[in-house]
Chain A
Amino acid sequence: MKRLLWIKDYKEFWNIFNQERIKERKKLRSLSFRKKLEMMRIKIKTR
């Protein structure tokens, strides 16, 4: 994500941004259900 800060081209920015998002989502999907529940709990508590 760091490299996003240095990109000046609009198209390139969104291209990298989308790639990074996909990577991030894949990583989150591979977590155990227990870990996912833990992450969601914070959201319930902070509403």
Chain B
Amino acid sequence: MMEERVIRRLNRLIKTGVIKDYAIGGAHAVAYYLEPVKTLDVDIFIFAKSDQDFYVLRTYIKKSGFKIRGTHVIMDDIPVHFLPGSLHPFINEAVRRAKKIKVGGLPTKVLALEYLIVSLLMAFRLKDKMVIPDLLERADMEKLKTIIERFCDEETPLDQRLQRILEHI
């Protein structure tokens, strides 16, 4: 299966030191907790303390000759969207706290439910808003609020966004 090939490749990148760690986010993580949803790509959260860390992956992508389409790297026919931790400390924490799972025997990680919800509150597009209520049903609200408090700021008022969702449930 193609997704498994991407997972195998990412696992190999950890072994060879190209990346430190990764976790599956976005629609695929939503599908892990809920039902399959429509998506255009696979979101991969990459642990990267600095831009230099991510530079190693960028160099690997370039050297390996992967096609780049817009913001996606095409790996095994799948558009992969890499989100490096150097962009936001939330990403690194989400990767570190991600849930260890297996897909067809392959070890991988998927964002923990509460981190997935926060990532959707950050993006806050219509499709994100639509799945949050179902995810909230399974979430640990105390844990979620603790994460929100730490990553909430004026630009991304996560607490207000969560409140808006809760008012509509």
Contacts and interface: CB of A to CB of B under 8 A. Distances in A.
A40 B1 contact: no
A41 B38 CA distance: 9
B39 interface: yes
A40 B37 CA distance: 7
B32 interface: yes
The bracket for how many chain B residues form the interface is 20 to 34
A7 interface: no
B39 A43 contact: yes
The bracket for how many chain A residues form the interface is 10 to 19
Contacts of A47: 40
A22 B2 CA distance: 30
Nearest to B101: A33
B133 to A, nearest CB: 13
Contacts of B2: 41
Interface in A25-44: 25, 28-29, 31, 33-34, 36-41, 43-44
A34 B1 contact: yes
Nearest to B38: A43
Looking at chain A's contact residues, the main secondary structure is: helix
Contacts of A45: 77
Interface centre among A29, A34, A37 (most CB of B within 10 A): A37
30 contacts: A25-B35, A28-B35, A28-B36, A29-B34, A31-B35, A33-B31, A33-B32, A34-B1, A36-B31, A36-B32, A36-B35, A37-B1, A37-B3, A37-B28, A37-B31, A38-B1, A40-B27, A40-B28, A40-B31, A40-B37, A40-B38, A41-B1, A41-B2, A41-B78, A43-B38, A43-B39, A44-B40, A44-B41, A44-B78, A45-B77
Interface of B: 1-4, 27-28, 31-32, 34-41, 77-79, 101, 103-104, 110
